Amino acid sequence: MSRTHADPSTRMGYLAWQMVHVMGTRLERVLRSLDLTAAQHNALQHVVWTPGISAAEIARRTGITPQSMGAAVNALVSRGLLARHDHPSSRRTVQLTITDRGAKLAERAREVVERLDGEALVVLAPAERAVFHSLLLRVLAELNPDALPSSDLRRAGSGAA
């Protein structure tokens, strides 16, 4: 076996998994201080970005199981951070909106996560951060086109940052 095959630093999947694991652990730690889980944070942020979104759509975008997302949404609704509303044209779909308390918590969480992102990227120059971001968007557009609004992914597919 060649050294290259034995060296995990040559494997994109291994490096990506390590980064996700480290960032996920750090994210869970900072969100815990806000009494949020990662799934709850995802739900709050997606409702901010797309008012009226359903829990099923958030689950698709984030890769979280519908059951786990349902539990996260139920917890946020019971805490008064999200509200459910009937969809105007589909009896089977429930739309989610954020409450004032939920919006305040979502903003605090966004600030905490942005700080975490900045700490992780401190080793990169600003131009490198932009390139890294653009490359992540392009790979995500290929692997999970549902993850972001289509306008963001169209931009990613074109190579624009």
**Confidence band for 124, pLDDT divided at 50, 70 and 90:** very high
Dist CA 29 CA 116 (whole Å):
11
Give me the mean pLDDT over the 109-133 stretch. 95
Q: How far apart are CA 155 and CA 161, in angstroms?
A: 7
- Choose between 158 and 59: higher pLDDT: 59
Cα 140 from Cα 64, distance rounded (Å): 15
Which of 79-83, 92-96, 120-124 is the least confident region? 92-96
State yes or no: pLDDT of 92 exceeds 80: no
Q: Is the pLDDT of residue 131 over 80?
A: yes
Mean pLDDT of the chain, nearest integer: 88
Q: Given this model, what pLDDT does residue 39 score?
A: 95
* Residue 149 zone, left/alpha/beta (φ > 0; ψ -120 to 50; rest): beta
160 confidence band (pLDDT: 50, 70, 90): very low
Q: Has residue 153 got a pLDDT over 60?
A: no
Residue percentage of the chain with pLDDT more than 90 = 69
Question: For the whole model, what pTM was predicted?
Answer: 0.81
**What is residue 93's predicted lDDT score, i.e. its pLDDT?**
77
- Per residue in 10-28, pLDDT (tens digit) is 888 899 999 999 999 999 9
**pLDDT tens digits, one per residue of 69-80:** 999 999 999 999
Given a cut of 80, is residue 56 above it in pLDDT? Answer: yes
Structure tokens at 11: 């494997």
